[in-house]
Amino acid sequence: MADKNKLLEAESTYKKSLDIYRNLAKTNPQTHLPDVAIAATNICIFYLQAMTDQEKSLAYAREALIAALPFRESVLSVQSNVSTVLAVISEWDDLDAKAFWKTLFTRSKATRLDYVKLVTRN
């Protein structure tokens, strides 16, 4: 029971952190979207390794990639973050990370403004 409580506490902490960065990104996306990408990546890893939930893991992976898209070529930490997310996606047996990325990229044509619209809805 203690382990379950620790996992629930960790889950809550990760989500609070992401919410903080989402709110900051609404007013300053250039500065805080990379933080959103990192926080969402941490949660997608959490749902892969600690509280196994493919649907949640992939939802946060998607959010991480959308937040990272505008910075994927210019910010080194974001490039690393994208690689981490793709590795997480690959861990789910029935998914192809490159196809997931391509589908996301071609469907959303995500920009900073697209992401701000996304987090505004949440």
Domain boundaries of the chain, sorted by first residue = 2-121
d(CA 3, CA 58): 24
At residue 76 the predicted structure's pLDDT band, cuts being 50, 70 and 90, is: confident
Residue, of 77 and 52, whose pLDDT is higher? 52
Which has the higher per-residue pLDDT, 114 or 100?
A: 100
pLDDT tens digits, one per residue of 2-13: 788 899 999 999
Q: What would the pLDDT profile of 44-53 be if each residue is shown by its tens digit?
A: 999 999 999 9
Residue 95, amino acid: L
Do the beta carbons of residue 85 and residue 61 sit within 8 Å? Answer: yes
To the nearest 10 degrees (0 to 180), the angle between helices 2-27 and 29-49 is 160
**This prediction's pTM:** 0.81
| 94 pLDDT tier (thresholds 50, 70, 90) | confident
With cut-offs at 50, 70 and 90, classify the pLDDT of residue 121: very low
Share of the chain above pLDDT 90, in %: 49
How buried is residue 20: exposed, middle or buried, by Cβ count under 10 Å (0-12/13-18/19+)? middle
How far is residue 41's CA from residue 65's CA, in Å, rounded to a whole number?
9
